[in-house]
């Protein structure tokens, strides 16, 4: 079983969208694929049931199996959410859940929260969680102004923590680009040797077919 951990340079850059896209891509290749979210905060209640938003997003487009270890209300870091919900989360459960979930699968997409230095559980950042899970990462970024700085810092943080980087996916590339967006790839290649796995355009109509089309050719 192979796994990949999806992290990002910031919040609201499309980690869940990229996770869904990669899961659909691998499923389309004939791989038995699963989606795993160790810590899901931002849960909401619907008809009395607590809903995991990122897993719900995947279910819009696929029946790919999905699982979380911890589910919290509150749109905050998993660490803070665990405190607010009076739950002591631990990595042992996460590793056990992932091992059990992976038994009958060829490929697992693991999605984090925030970025590498987002607090995950007591005493651990997501950089620590990634090392505990022995995962390779894909960094999700966007080409907007300021994101080159965030992307390069994330790369340096990963290298400092001896985390292996599979590559970068540039998300939300607009059709009508600003000066910064036009030069983002060139600038990134000038200052980093990390491979760009794919450039995902902005998608106006989110369907399974359109997502697969956008991820066609992404090198994973």
Residues with catalytic annotation? 37
Rg (CA), the chain: 17
Where does 126-210 show beta strands of DSSP type E? 137-141, 165-173, 196-201
Cβ–Cβ < 8 Å for 23, 58: yes
Instruction: For residue 124, give every residue at least 6 positions away whose Cβ sits within 8 Å of its Cβ, in sequence order, or none.
Output: 91, 132
Q: Which of 147, 136, 137 is nearest to 170 (CA)?
A: 147
How far, CA to CA in Å, does 1 sit from each of 122, 133, 162, 177? 29, 13, 22, 39
Cβ–Cβ < 8 Å for 168, 197: yes
How far, CA to CA in Å, does 196 sit from each of 2, 101, 141, 167, 219? 20, 29, 11, 6, 9
Cβ–Cβ < 8 Å for 59, 66: yes
Cβ–Cβ < 8 Å for 139, 150: no
Provide the pairing of β-strand 107-111 with 119-121: unpaired
């Amino acid at each position: 079983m192979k796994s990949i951990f999806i992290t990002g340079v910031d919040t609201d850059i499309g980690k869940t969208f990229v996770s869904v896209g990669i899961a659909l891509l691998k499923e389309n290749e004939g791989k038995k694929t699963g989606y795993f979210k160790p810590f899901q905060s931002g849960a909401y209640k619907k008809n009395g049931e607590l809903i995991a938003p990122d897993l719900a997003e995947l279910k819009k487009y696929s029946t790919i199996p999905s699982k979380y270890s911890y589910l919290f209300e509150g749109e905050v870091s998993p660490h803070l959410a665990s405190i607010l919900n009076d739950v002591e989360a631990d990595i042992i459960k996460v590793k056990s859940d992932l091992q059990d979930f992976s038994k009958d699968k060829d490929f697992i997409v693991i999605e984090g929260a925030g970025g590498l230095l987002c607090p995950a559980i007591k005493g651990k950042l997501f950089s620590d969680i990634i090392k505990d899970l022995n995962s390779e990462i894909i960094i999700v970024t966007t080409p907007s102004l300021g994101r080159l700085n965030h992307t390069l810092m994330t790369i340096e943080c990963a290298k400092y923590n001896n985390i292996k980087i599979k590559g970068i996916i540039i998300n939300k590339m607009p059709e009508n680009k600003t000066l910064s967006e036009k030069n983002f790839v060139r600038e990134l290649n000038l200052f980093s040797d990390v491979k760009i796995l794919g450039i995902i355009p902005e998608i106006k109509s989110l369907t399974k077919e359109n997502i697969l089309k956008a991820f066609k050719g992404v090198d994973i």
